[in-house]
């Protein structure tokens, strides 16, 4: 009898210990795109994300809570993305947050996350109107969305032209991926075109974007004064090569932050010299403290997710920044719901909504010079709208502009109008101040 009791007690103890150990891990699912049309670009993102999560663990976790990462491959296909979401959302004690890295998947998940009470971080992509937290309770386009990109790229072009008023009568071509990813950029450009009196030449390119001959022949014929690229994956490199073929100056081409990464330009090399892209705060940051930390604490131990030479590249850094935002949101939530505890989806959401990353905090995390402060609220789910422009010098990107900020006066009404339209279609009501406290 006694032996049986002891065995039983042991079993119960070990089972509860197991449960306890499990309860100390915060689960961050990853929807990766290591195959498919955007693989060269989405792979460094996932590697950066996972390396930073390992770095968090090496630094002692989020107040002692370790991060746990599990990947599911979407191949940039929306239906596989939804499948991955369903597969991972309840695993390992429940997902903290999803970062789908695809606008199509973001659209498909936007309603599902509200029902499942899991946040969606879509830094730099997804729905631009989801910056309005009053309608989109679970979406967080942290530190930038397409309209910030569009506005700041126009500001940069304006500076090149010698002032925004000089844009009057000019023609700006926009080559974009013909999907929600590309089309989301257009409302801000159209708004600005009406304001400053330039004309837009819209040049949609069918997915995945390797067939652009006709587009660039049109560019050669019409000779727009500037070109804006809203491209992703194989599409960017193709656009640059086609521009080269028709003799369109790369100096007059400006990409958004999905169109300005090394994998797209490496092969073109010298041919892409002079091409610029607006960056969502960070660019390639191999000298930053956080990259050195990752090298020391993750890569030197052979635990790096990818090759060493991609560490610090543009998209790798975007993964790092995404992971940092995801973990810092949990840290912020712990301030309210209890330090050292695992946060559930709802608690983490509170954290993302009350994120206050001061410069001091960012510097301490190793993001000095990489990022500016981020502060979110119930009304503002973006938290920061700063960008910089970098230019390809033939082998790498160099900074080409000072900090730019998207014009809140223009973007806020656009966001609100679009969010209200969404709410009317879905018969949603704006969140009350009381709901904002929750």
Partner 1 sequence: MFYRENGQFKTSYRADSQIFPIAQDRWGVLALLAFAVIAVPLLADEYLLRAIFIPFLILSLAALGVNILVGFCGQISLGSGAFMAVGAYAAYNTYVRIEGMPLIVALLSGGFFATLVGLFFGIPSLRVKGLYLAVATLAAQFFCDWVFLRIGWFSNNSSSGSVAVSDLSVLGWSIESPISKYLFCLGVLVVFGVLAKNLVRGAIGREWMAIRDMDVAAAVIGIRPMYAKLSAFAVSSFIVGVAGALWGFIHLGSWEPAAFSVDRSFQLLFMVIIGGMGSIMGSFFGAAFIVVLPIFLNQALPALGSLFGLDISTALVAHTEVMIFGALIVWFLIVEPHGLAKLWSIGKQKLRLWPFPH
Binding residues for partner 1, rule: CB under 8 A, are 32, 34-35, 39, 43, 46, 71-73, 75, 78-79, 82-83, 86-87, 90, 103-104, 107-108, 110-112, 115, 127, 178-180, 183-184, 186-187, 204, 206-207, 418, 425-427
Angle subtended by helix axes 314-337 and 345-353, to nearest 10: 110
Is residue 237 within 8 A of residue 245, CB to CB? The reply is: no
Half-sphere exposure of residue 132, counting CA atoms within 13 Å on the CB side?
A: 22
CA 165, chain centre distance (Å): 31
Closest CB 204 distance from partner 1, rounded Å: 8
Q: How far apart are CA 304 and CA 159, in angstroms?
A: 41
Question: Which residue is it, tokens 């500037």?
Answer: 226
- Close Cβ partners of 63 (under 8 Å, ≥ 6 residues apart): 331, 334, 339, 340
Q: How far apart are CA 168 and CA 160, in angstroms?
A: 14
Q: How far apart are CA 283 and CA 358, in angstroms?
A: 20
Closest CB 104 distance from partner 1, rounded Å: 6
Q: How far apart are CA 56 and CA 52, in angstroms?
A: 6
Q: Smaller CB distance to partner 1: residue 43 or 96?
A: 43
Q: Smaller CB distance to partner 1: residue 131 or 268?
A: 131
Q: How far apart are CA 397 and CA 275, in angstroms?
A: 9
Q: Smaller CB distance to partner 1: residue 171 or 183?
A: 183
Is residue 111 within 8 A of residue 135, CB to CB? The reply is: no
Closest CB 112 distance from partner 1, rounded Å: 7
- Close Cβ partners of 107 (under 8 Å, ≥ 6 residues apart): 78, 126, 127, 180
- Provide the 8-state DSSP code for 132: B
Q: Smaller CB distance to partner 1: residue 86 or 408?
A: 86
Q: Smaller CB distance to partner 1: residue 37 or 283?
A: 37
The two structure tokens encoding residue 436: 């904002």
Closest CB 429 distance from partner 1, rounded Å: 14
Q: Smaller CB distance to partner 1: residue 179 or 391?
A: 179
Q: What is the dihedral of CA 421, 426, 427, 433, to 10 degrees?
A: -70
Q: Smaller CB distance to partner 1: residue 96 or 110?
A: 110
Q: Smaller CB distance to partner 1: residue 202 or 379?
A: 202
3-state helix, strand, coil in the chain (%, to 5): 50, 15, 35
CA 56, chain centre distance (Å): 19
- Close Cβ partners of 240 (under 8 Å, ≥ 6 residues apart): 250, 253, 264, 265, 268, 271, 272, 275
Closest CB 322 distance from partner 1, rounded Å: 17
Closest CB 314 distance from partner 1, rounded Å: 20
Q: Smaller CB distance to partner 1: residue 46 or 131?
A: 46
């Amino acid at each position: 009898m006694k032996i049986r009791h002891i065995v039983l007690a042991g079993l119960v103890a070990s089972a509860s210990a197991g449960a306890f150990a499990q309860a100390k891990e915060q689960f961050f699912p990853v929807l990766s795109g290591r195959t498919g049309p955007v693989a060269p670009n989405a792979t460094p993102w996932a590697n950066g994300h996972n390396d930073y999560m390992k770095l968090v663990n090496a630094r002692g976790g989020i107040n002692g809570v370790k991060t746990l990462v599990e990947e599911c491959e979407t191949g940039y296909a929306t239906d596989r993305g939804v499948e991955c979401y369903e597969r991972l959302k309840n695993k390992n004690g429940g997902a903290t947050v999803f970062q789908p890295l695809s606008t199509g998947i973001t659209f498909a998940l936007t309603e599902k996350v509200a029902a499942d009470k899991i946040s969606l971080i879509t830094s730099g992509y997804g729905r631009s109107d989801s910056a309005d937290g009053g309608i989109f309770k679970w979406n967080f386009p942290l530190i930038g969305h397409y309209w910030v990109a569009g506005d700041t790229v126009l500001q940069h072009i304006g500076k090149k032209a010698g002032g925004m008023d000089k844009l009057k009568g000019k023609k700006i071509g926009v080559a974009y991926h013909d999907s929600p990813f590309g089309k989301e950029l257009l409302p801000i450009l159209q708004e600005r075109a009406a304001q400053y009196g330039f004309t837009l030449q819209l040049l949609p390119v069918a997915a995945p974007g390797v067939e652009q001959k006709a587009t660039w022949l049109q560019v050669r014929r019409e000779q727009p004064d500037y070109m804006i690229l809203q491209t992703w994956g194989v599409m960017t490199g193709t656009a640059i090569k086609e521009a080269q073929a028709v003799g369109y100056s790369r100096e007059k081409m400006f990409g958004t932050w999905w169109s300005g990464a090394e994998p797209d330009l490496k092969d073109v090399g010298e041919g892409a010299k002079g091409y610029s892209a607006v960056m969502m705060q960070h660019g390639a940051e191999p000298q930053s403290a956080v990259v050195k930390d990752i090298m020391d604490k993750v890569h030197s131990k052979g635990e790096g997710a990818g090759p060493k030479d991609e560490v610090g590249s543009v998209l790798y850094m975007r993964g790092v920044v995404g992971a940092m935002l995801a973990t810092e949101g949990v840290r912020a939530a712990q301030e309210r719901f209890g330090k050292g505890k695992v946060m559930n989806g709802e608690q983490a959401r509170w954290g993302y909504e009350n994120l206050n990353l001061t410069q001091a905090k960012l510097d301490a995390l190793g993001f000095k010079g990489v990022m500016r402060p981020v502060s979110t609220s119930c009304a503002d789910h973006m938290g920061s709208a700063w960008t910089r422009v970098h230019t390809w010098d033939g082998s790498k990107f160099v900074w080409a502009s000072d900090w730019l900020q998207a014009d809140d006066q223009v973007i806020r009404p656009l966001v609100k109008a679009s969010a209200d339209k969404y709410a009317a279609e879905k018969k949603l009501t704006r969140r009350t101040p009381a709901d904002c406290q929750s």
